[in-house]
Structure 1
Amino acid sequence: MTGVLILDDLVVVLRRYVAFPSIESLHAVALWVAHCHALDAFESTPRLAALSPEKGSGKTRLLEVLGLVVPDPLHAVNISPAALYRLVDDRQPTLLLDECDTYLGVNIAKQHEDLRGLINAGHRRGATVYRGEVHGKGVKVVEFPAFAACALAGIGDLPDTILDRSIVVAMKRRAPHEHVEPFRDRLARPGAEAIRDRLAHWAELNLEHLRSTYPEMPAGLTDRPADVWEPLLAIADTAGGHWPITAREAAVSLNTERAKRDPSLGVLLLTDCRTVFSERDVDRLSTHDLIDALLELDESPWSDIRGKELDARGLANRLRKYEVRPGDHRFDDAVKKGYRIEDFHDAWSRYLPAVADVADVALSQSRKRAESPEVHGEDELGDDLHSFQSEPHHHPRASSNGNGQQGQQAQPIERDNEGAAA
């Protein structure tokens, strides 16, 4: 019973009922489910954030399916912090929190600091939260452990403190050509729970190996993103087959998309300055020319910042906090105020880290596999799974083509104890 076959079967079940926005997000969710079963092996647990701009995008359906394959699921739409503290203390469940925008959204999170604190703290093993409880005539400080796996689903965005600890899946309303099968708990449960049990058994057998595994990160994944992806890459490396490559492709793709979600104006300015210097292919630009180029960029905000265009003073003030300052430089036959490309190098390297191309990641991992004689599993289903990128998912029976996540039911995949198709 190899890890690669179990993960491949899990992908089939997830894909059957949920229209994912990309093959990478599908693979990331499968790895996240697997890491929930091996939580004791890891120092941190990434939050899974399924977010969409509108309702009817499959977020709740995703949580319903996850409830069949994760260990000890706790599915809640509205729960008090006090209840959640005690449930995590008693059971360490896998939290599946729906409609999180109503209590953790950007504009309302300050009203639920206790809950947000638990979600943030629970990312790291050993983290605790402290609360005062009345005992008799006095108040006693009580310590609650916070470490627990957590998936969140909601509309819009979440506070940066949560997103920085999350794998973000940008769910979308299903297009007419995207087909899924109808989800009926009583029909889906037997096959899904069989995969859950196989996954739990595999995780138990590989727990010690996972504890000692330190996966290599793709270029661009450092600091917090590395913490987020380390457990999933460890799962992939232990499973073997196509999963080490597949996981790193997902990490690069989703981390790149995550970095693009509503950057601060300062980061956006650095990004746009890098674009201008790259397109102009010069080593310096006058302040006037740089501002003109920024104003010409499509969809840039620099022509209307609180009703005014970006000017020389505003540009200098915004760049100063990144230690980028204008100077007197020679341009043709005149000396003008401006910026050299080398003035930006340090800020670009710190705030706009280079992200490895997905193809580069796959090539690097393929070379390593070719050089290593050890293979953890068989790659029987890997090529078929990648057809997701070029072909819509069809099933032999009719399926729904309306909005939402409904379609026709198919029989679950079952495998014998050796992992072969029954």
Structure 2
Amino acid sequence: MTEPNIIDGAALLDEVEAFHRRFNVFPHESAYVAVVLWDAHAHLLDCFESTPRLAFLSPEPGSGKSRALEIVETLVPNPMAAVDASAAALFRSASGIDGKRPTILFDEIDTVFGPKAGDNEQLRGFINAGHRRNRPMFRCVGDGANQTVQAFHSYTAVAVAGLGYLPDTIRDRSVNIRMRRRARNEKIEPYRTRIHEKEGFALRDRLAAWAEQAAEHVTGAWPDMPEDITDRPADVWEPLLAVADAAGGDWPDRARAACTAMVTASKANDKGSLGVRLLTDLRDHVMVGIDRLPTVAILDRLNALDDAPWADLHGRPLDNRRLGKMLADYMTADNEPITSRNIKTGGSVLKGYYASDLLDAWDRYCPPPPESPLPPLPRTETLV
């Protein structure tokens, strides 16, 4: 009995990368590494506890998002285009069509989650739940009174492409690649489905064969994470680093360099939720060097900030009611909701906020403060 041919994983991933480079221009080298590892990880889903989403996003059309998804489609197992798929269809398909788990590919994801889209909480829930193994979604199945509760397992690989941004809960579970239009000096080979699809399929079949050989090395693996990569980013990158380690060659080093670069860039560009943005702006721009400030002064300063959403929040400036509601979601160090308190100033009493009440929330939720903070503003007494 002859031994099966051992496939060189590193050389195979090199070929997959070269295939992408023929037809895709990604914004940085790390993106090529991440996409290739994602292609390979889709063949090894049963080895992992979680699967990152892959997102090609851009601010404008014509940035190569759909083409990137099209190339991915040729390289992953059982691709399923899901532009018009309902949540119910996806629940059932993720459990396996003809015994095969699909790789779901969502183009034009902005039509699902963009500002003009309707309520798609079921789809959002499906994409989020399918990030981790053994997180089924429960639905009633049947007619009328003859209904039973059935668990739908949604663990499957998902790649998306679209304009704008994803909801926070999906973005945090994704490898996010911000696509851009090609510059005049950036050339790619025209993609012809009838010709090049077969080349992608051949690579896909070799990835599947390599995955069978690599599965025992990947299953249960705990790859060393780069320094400071923890929590959700670690969940996202762990399967990709495990694939790189199994492939060998220079892929382990390239994968960790890509992980560090992309996570660092994401943190630098991510202002977090609207609540975290509010806390951060209060700390870094509004209450610098101030121990208390009346609400009216806080609103004036927030609404005057450039490159901030407060002056046009859902069509109107931030007001004291909305400010109070947003801050009440966070707690003081004494585990009490942050609320306005009386501030004595200029012989009168105004409602406002104390920095001491915000310190714990600043520490827990905000990114590290700038190395060179803005000059302190005048004290409270001079601000009315």
TM above 0.5, one fold? yes
1:351 corresponding residue in structure 2: 365
2:263 corresponding residue in structure 1: 255
User: Retained in 2: the 8 A contact 1:285–1:338?
Assistant: no
Deviates more, 1:95-104 or 1:188-197: 188-197
2:273 corresponding residue in structure 1: 264
1:5 corresponding residue in structure 2: 11
Higher relative contact order (CA 8 A, sep 6+): 1
Q: Displacement of 1:20 after TM fit? A: 0.9
2:221 corresponding residue in structure 1: 213
Deviates more, 1:63-72 or 1:253-262: 253-262
Q: Which residue of 132, 137, 143 corresponds with 1:129?
A: 137
Identity of aligned residues (%): 47
* Structure 1 residues 347 and 134: CA distance shift in structure 2, 3 A: closer
Query: What is the aligned residue count?
Result: 340
2:117 corresponding residue in structure 1: 108
User: Retained in 2: the 8 A contact 1:304–1:310?
Assistant: no
Q: Displacement of 1:39 after TM fit? A: 0.8
**Separation of aligned partners in 2, 1:265 and 1:118:** 24
* Structure 1 residues 133 and 173: CA distance shift in structure 2, 3 A: same
Deviations 1:348-392 (A, max 9, x none): 5533457xxxxxxxxxxxxxxxxxxxxxxxxxxxxxxxxxxxxxx
**Separation of aligned partners in 2, 1:137 and 1:267:** 45
Deviations 1:248-284 (A, max 9, x none): 222223223434245334433554577679xxxx9x5
1:18-417 equivalence runs, <5 A = 18-89=24-95, 90=97, 91-105=100-114, 108=117, 110=119, 112-134=120-142, 138-259=146-267, 260-261=269-270, 263-271=272-280, 299-300=307-308, 321=330, 323=332, 347=361, 350-352=364-366
Q: Displacement of 1:29 after TM fit? A: 0.9
TM (normalized to structure 2)?
0.74
Unaligned runs of 5+ residues in structure 2 are 1-6, 341-351, 369-384
* Structure 1 residues 309 and 49: CA distance shift in structure 2, 3 A: closer
**Separation of aligned partners in 2, 1:141 and 1:256:** 43
User: Retained in 2: the 8 A contact 1:105–1:156?
Assistant: yes
Q: Displacement of 1:133 after TM fit? A: 2.6
User: Retained in 2: the 8 A contact 1:45–1:148?
Assistant: yes
User: Retained in 2: the 8 A contact 1:106–1:158?
Assistant: no
Deviations 1:14-33 (A, max 9, x none): 11111111111221111111
* Aligned AA (1:258): S
Deviates more, 1:164-173 or 1:32-41: 164-173
* Structure 1 residues 143 and 295: CA distance shift in structure 2, 3 A: closer
**Separation of aligned partners in 2, 1:77 and 1:309:** 36
User: Retained in 2: the 8 A contact 1:106–1:159?
Assistant: no
* Aligned AA (2:86): S
**Separation of aligned partners in 2, 1:44 and 1:97:** 19
Unaligned runs of 5+ residues in structure 1 are 327-336, 355-422
**Separation of aligned partners in 2, 1:308 and 1:264:** 18
**Separation of aligned partners in 2, 1:61 and 1:258:** 23
Deviates more, 1:67-76 or 1:188-197: 188-197
Cα RMSD after superposing both structures: 3.7
Deviates more, 1:254-263 or 1:114-123: 254-263
Deviates more, 1:20-29 or 1:233-242: 233-242
Report the secondary structure of 1:38's partner residue: helix
Deviates more, 1:10-19 or 1:194-203: 194-203
